[in-house]
Amino acid sequence: MTPHFAERAGVRTFIHEGPSLAPRLLDLEVPRCEELRIVLPLASNVAAGLLKALEGRRYGSAVGRILCGGAAHLSYHRMIVTNQPERPYDYGQPVVLDGYITFISGAITVGRDARGAPLLHCHAGFLDRNGEQHGGHLVLDKLIVGSEPLTIRLCLFDQVAYQVQPDAETHFNLLHPVLKELS
Partner 1 sequence: MSVAVTEDSLVQDGRLGRLVIARLKPNEDLIDSAEALCKEHGIDLAVVRGGLGSLIDGQLSYLGREGLIQIHVPGPGVEILSVSGEILSGASRLQAVVADADGKLFAGRLERGKNLTFITVELTLQEWLPD
Closest Cα partner for 65 from 118, 119, 109?
109
Please tell me the distance from the alpha carbon of residue 106 to that of residue 153, in angstroms, as a whole number: 11
From candidates 36, 47, 176, 183, binder to partner 1 by CB under 8 A:
176
Q: Which stretch binds partner 1 (CB under 8 A): 10-18, 36-44, 48-56, 141-149?
A: 10-18
Termini Cα distance of the chain? 40
Closest Cα partner for 140 from 123, 160, 157?
123
Q: Binding to partner 1 by residue 54, rule CB under 8 A?
A: no
x/- map, 66-85, partner 1, by CB under 8 A: ----------x-xxx-----
CB of residue 87 to partner 1, shortest distance in Å: 10
Burial class (CB in 10 A: 0-12, 13-18, 19+), 149: middle
Q: How many CA atoms lie within 13 A of 10 on its CB side?
A: 0
Number of residues that bind partner 1 (CB under 8 A): 56
CB of residue 151 to partner 1, shortest distance in Å: 14
From candidates 44, 47, 134, 151, binder to partner 1 by CB under 8 A:
134
Please tell me the distance from the alpha carbon of residue 129 to that of residue 101, in angstroms, as a whole number: 6
Give me the residues that bind partner 1 (CB under 8 A), please: 8-9, 11-14, 16, 20, 24-33, 61, 63-65, 76, 78-80, 89, 95, 104-109, 121-125, 133-137, 155, 157, 160, 162, 167, 169-170, 172, 174-177
